[in-house]
Amino acid sequence: MARKTLSSLVGRLDDDQPVEATQPAPTAPASDQKPAEVAPAVVASVSKKRSKCPPKVSFYQEPENTDRIRDAIVHTFAQEGFRNISQFLNFVAVAEVERLEQKYNDGKPFPTVKARELPQGRPMGV
């Protein structure tokens, strides 16, 4: 059985081409993808049991910034290789942490701070 269109992302099939004969969309070589460069640093820092997904982290962000991030991911996927917001933000955050460690801590990781040890809420007197 053949279909004319699978989706707007996959493209069109000929009438006589079976659905099973479709090929996945080509992707950039792994060496060009930014997330592959992050994986060793992230994996090294998380040497404990690994679940299917890393723990979820939530934060507040202006909707306009979220839109810009999503737009950048979608429009640069083929060149940069980021597949979702989590992958993109993790890469950017780790790069910034490495920059801060280099600048302020001789390139070494900072001492560990647990989740509830960060100041929370609005600063007093503001």
Per domain, the residue ranges of the chain are 58-113
Per-residue pLDDT at 48: 60
Give the pLDDT score at 28: 47
Q: What is the pLDDT of residues 59-84, one digit of tens each?
A: 899 999 999 999 999 999 999 999 99
Residue 69: predicted pLDDT: 96
| pLDDT attached to residue 35 | 47
Query: Distance of CA 119 to CAs 104, 123, 124, Å?
Result: 20, 8, 11
Rounded Cα gap, residues 50 and 12, in angstroms: 39
Q: Supply angle C-alpha 102, 104, 107, rounded to 5.
A: 30
Percent of the chain whose pLDDT exceeds 70: 60
| Mean pLDDT over each residue of the chain, to the nearest integer | 74
Q: Which residues contact 18 (CB under 8 A, 6 or more apart)?
A: 1, 2
| pLDDT-based confidence at residue 31 (cuts at 50, 70, 90) | very low
- Contact by Cβ (8 Å): 83, 34: no
